[in-house]
């Protein structure tokens, strides 16, 4: 075993990192489940697929900022040119 491996094996920061990482993974899983339940709660009012797409579109538009007018123009020109 190299000295680096020995140091890492005895370093409590590794255990601390792993503990925190697993806690965060658990929290992310809980949040993902909560998000799924939220969509389930509203699926009688909105199609979840359409709602997800609307959220995605709003986020894209927000990222574009002032360029959103160009996006709208391109969408208008491309509308109907692709199947779907």
Sign of CA dihedral 50, 53, 59, 65: negative
CA pair distance 30, 40, nearest whole angstrom: 15
Is the pLDDT at 6 greater than 70? The verdict is: no
Q: Give the three-state DSSP class for 20.
A: helix
The confidence score (pLDDT) of residue 57 equals 95
Tens-digit pLDDT profile for residues 17-56? 999 999 999 999 999 999 999 999 999 999 999 999 999 9
The confidence score (pLDDT) of residue 9 equals 73
Residue with tokens 């409590």, as numbered in its chain: 12
Q: What is the pTM of this model?
A: 0.66
CB 45 within 8 A of CB 35: no
């Amino acid at each position: 075993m190299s000295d680096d491996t020995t140091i890492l094996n005895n370093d409590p920061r590794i255990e601390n990192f792993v503990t925190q990482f697993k806690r965060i993974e658990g929290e992310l899983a809980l949040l993902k489940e909560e998000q799924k339940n939220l969509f389930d709660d509203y699926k009688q009012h909105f199609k979840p697929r359409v709602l997800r797409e609307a959220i995605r579109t709003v986020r894209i538009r927000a990222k574009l900022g002032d360029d959103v007018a160009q996006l709208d123009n391109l969408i208008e020109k491309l509308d109907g040119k692709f199947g779907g």
